[in-house]
Structure 1
Amino acid sequence: MNRSMKQYDPIDFVVDWVDSNDISWKKKKSLYEENVISSVDDSQARYRDWGIFKYWFRAVEKNAPWVHKIFIITDHQNPKFLNKHSSKIVFVNHEDFIPNEYLPTFNSDAIEIGIQNIPGLSEHFVFFNDDMFINKPVKPIDFFDGNIPKDSGVMGPQFPISNSITHITVNNMEIINKYFLKKKVLRKYFFKFFNWRYGKDNIRTATALPWQVFIGFYDMHIPISFLKSTFDNVWSEVGNLLSQNYQHRFRSQLDYSVWLMRYFQLASGNFFPRRTRFGKYYNLGEQTEEIINDIKTGKHALIVLNDQESINDYPYEKKLVNEVFERRYSRKSEFEN
């Protein structure tokens, strides 16, 4: 049987979304912003709405019609364009899977770290942020092979630069180095970490070899294929640390992120190697021309459009991105009213 035609267990998509223009949400957020300190990341780019979320659904319908369910994590905010009665759409409010004593929260790390507790979520799911788009037709085998998550096991250093989450990924790596010996992992899964599918990116892993410990994994910041059981296993090991996220209503340098679950899958060898060029991460404003070209041509299967505080003309950039999405996905999806 053709590998792409294998019978797969249900694969869900999970996406978190916030309507930053919602007056009620703004008022609630403002009640807690007075206590925000400099170590907390509460930049406008974390919440700004580009008006392109409807194209996320249109792209899913056109490029991944096989998806089982789509779980939308919101804080009682339902996108007005969505059909609430769609059989594939499941709205998830924060209290559905986060303890009430920690709500409200505006910390994506706190929201994402426990998504395995979402009622009804399948064992196999792909996690998206709302700036991550499926950009051309994909199959289940692009995300799971024999029900094993697809990923790129490329190593690399963590870069301490501004407007990054390096402080949080370093927190994640501290846990990884507590539970995994790099030498043993490489000996056991050598051809998963040095693989022809990574091309030149194998050099990244090679440069990390002199260190006895894991100095980091290459984060491409694209949708991640997850096993729900991975979350359960990690929580059983370090739940006391992960639960500290809930103490921070906004992003904090002390957080752990959902990437920790990815790192556990990689270090456990519980992944099937996938091309590093399967997805592409772009910065809005800086790479708008490249973004437009990729959406037009479908060059990469997955694209990420990262917002930047430094964008000079947000309305103009927003107009350009909306126009190219509308040209590519002009037809309403089954998920829309």
Structure 2
Amino acid sequence: MNLFDPLAQRSLALRHRLVISPMCQYSATDGLPDNWHLVHLGSRAVGGAALVITEATAVSAQGRISHGDTGLWNDAQVEAWKPIVRFVQSSGAIAGVQLAHAGRKSSAQLPWEGGGSLAADQAPWTTVAPSVIPFDAGWHTPQALDEAGIQQVVADFRASARRALAAGFQLIELHAAHGYLLHQFLSPLSNQRTDPYGGSFDNRTRIVREVISAVREVWPAELPLWLRISATDWAENDAGWNIEQSVQLAQQVKPLGVDLIDVSSGGMLAHAKIPVGPGYQVPFAARIRREADIATGAVGMITEVEQAQAIIANGEADVVLTARESLRDPYFARRAAKTLDVKITPPVQYGRAW
């Protein structure tokens, strides 16, 4: 395999293996994307990416990380997404959306305003989680979801998937990583329930499986469904969610209709010691791909074209997702094509530059 080989995902064909990773912009109003999101996502599509995935898009107002999150919990948001989706697609990329619920990490300040919990005069809202355990000192103490609350979360994901289809998206990624609600259920560090949604591995993964099944009920069989996970919590003594459990989860969800595991890590612990370095998460993607026999995506400090090519050529992942590097260079995919001596067609408006 090579970086610029196409990749089949159900009825879709990614034109190559470079994907724009979800990146929160914290710039929406009432969940509505605007011209910032059009330019941000559209420029990466013009830049040659095969697939552009939106930021974490909340399935409910309560599930937002911050006041600035985009959403798909009402029909006005569907209408706001439509022109953005059309532009991404008209620029040759597939348009994907990441659906998310922030759980106990909700009701937060914008990162450039501190990033902690919203103060009483900043219009905070009640946060929810598997258990009554705050993310960190100074964060809101969440309410534990009862079974009716859990089923409402599942229903919210289903409804948002239906709206994603109405907006024209062609791929959904479910966010079960970075310490947000679905990850909170997965990890024994945040899930101390004693009911059918806590305790054993099968119980802790139950809500993820229910969300996948609910989304697949309304998401067409011919369109792909991805799942983002944190492969490890980076907890001391491997005490939390870890790579072994991630492999097991991938084995569980493949028969439910998940087409690719987008493999990140961390986000559960506010003060985890993470050995960050170039490609530091790639071995997790490689192991899940090998042991669960499912397509994977690699992400995390992948900044060089040759690095991305090696990941694909060595069979460590099926796609490479770029985040911060694509913020620095929206045209990373076109630069990669030139470096690897591959021709990809530029927009006709930019043809004079090629």
Q: Same fold (TM over 0.5)?
A: no
TM, length-normalised to structure 2: 0.29
TM, length-normalised to structure 1: 0.30
